[in-house]
Structure 1
């Protein structure tokens, strides 16, 4: 089960990388920035199952590790204006960071999976991923708004 869940997780991570690379070819919007955490939040329904529940201190640790990992994503997510629209720039480091996070995740999962049941391991990694995506998306939202204000100011000044 551990090997199967690791393979599925790796395939999902590679899918996310492909989606992110394609998304950088389309203009960014507030909706595209804020909706993923809301969609992901439905995963908390897994905690309805008693087998998926973890101690609160472990969930907080996973959340904090996710927040720490989000710093890498925040630092590599920048916006630029092309053709009067705002795009998320494709950082060369972004793919390597996601692949590095995937490797770290697999290593952690292999180590932790030996002492914690698979459903609890999955729960912890879900909380870690949620702890990573929320700060990243909040930072992206503020960066997007800052870029948008700067662009609107320049447009306004150029029309005067």
Structure 2
């Protein structure tokens, strides 16, 4: 069964801000590159989040944006090039939803320190600079998929 979700229409600046964050840039860096004030860039990000089914985090906005083709998906990379432990792999959808380490630990019934350690190791293994960039890197390696994201959309 295929889930059909209407594609949200993001304005060009909303797409640019979200795409810049997906590349691992900070909001300040994205704003500077786009010649915007940081507050203006945050406004575009907030608008994009609201259009992307009320995404609560940058990570969930990026994942949702990829899943519904509201932003350009990154070039896929071979899944076998990203070696993750099962514990690290289990964190990916939770990080993509913008959950905190404490929320993930509770969901997975694992010690908080173990979840934090696995999260740090996951970022390093994926060569991601921050959680938003991790969404992009795991999407590229097909660890995070459209099917997973669609399960949490309204």
Please, what TM-score do these two structures have when normalized by structure 2?
Answer: 0.29
Which structure's relative contact order is higher, taking Cα pairs within 8 Å and 6+ residues apart? 1
> Which has the larger share of helix?
1
Point out the structure with max Rg over C-alpha: 1
> Which has the larger share of strand?
1
